[in-house]
Amino acid sequence: MTYTVLMSIASRPRAVIFDLDGTLTVATIDFDAIRAEIGLPNEPILEAVLQMPPAERARAEAILHRHEIEAAEASRLQPFAVEVVAAIRAGGIPVALMTRNSRWSARHFMDKHGLAFDFIRAREDGPMKPSPEPIHDICRAFAVSPTDTWAVGDFRFDLICANAAGSTSVLFHDPSLKRPDWADEADHVINSLKELLPLMGIA
- Dump pLDDT digits (tens) for 130-168: 999 999 999 999 999 999 999 999 999 999 999 999 999
Helix/strand/coil for 28: coil
Query: Using CA atoms, how far apart are residues 138 and 111, in angstroms rounded to an integer?
Result: 21
Among 95, 124, 118, which residue's Cα sits nearest to residue 202? 95
Q: Is 172 exposed, middle or buried (0-12, 13-18, 19+ CB in 10 A)?
A: buried
* b/e map 91-102, b = 16+ CB within 10 Å: bebbbbbbbbbb
Work out the angle between the directed axes of helices 156-165 and 133-142 (0-180°, nearest 10): 60
Query: Using CA atoms, how far apart are residues 132 and 151, in angstroms rounded to an integer?
Result: 11
C-beta neighbour count of 43 within 10 angstroms = 8
Among 162, 176, 165, which residue's Cα sits nearest to residue 18? 162
In tens digits, the chain (203 residues) has pLDDT values of 443 433 334 378 999 999 999 999 997 778 888 888 888 888 888 788 888 899 998 998 889 888 888 888 888 999 999 999 999 999 999 999 999 998 988 998 889 998 999 999 999 999 999 999 999 999 999 999 999 999 999 999 999 999 999 999 999 998 888 999 999 999 999 999 999 999 999 86
pLDDT at 3: 39
- The domains found in the chain, sorted by start residue, are 9-27+76-199 (3.40.50.1000), 31-74 (no CATH)
List the beta bridge partners of residue 151.
17, 169
Task: Return the DSSP state at 101.
Answer: S
Query: Using CA atoms, how far apart are residues 93 and 71, in angstroms rounded to an integer?
Result: 29
Query: Using CA atoms, how far apart are residues 147 and 165, in angstroms rounded to an integer?
Result: 8
Report strand pairing: 95-98 vs 149-153.
unpaired
CA distances 131 to 73, 100, 140, 158, 198, Å, are 28, 11, 16, 9, 29
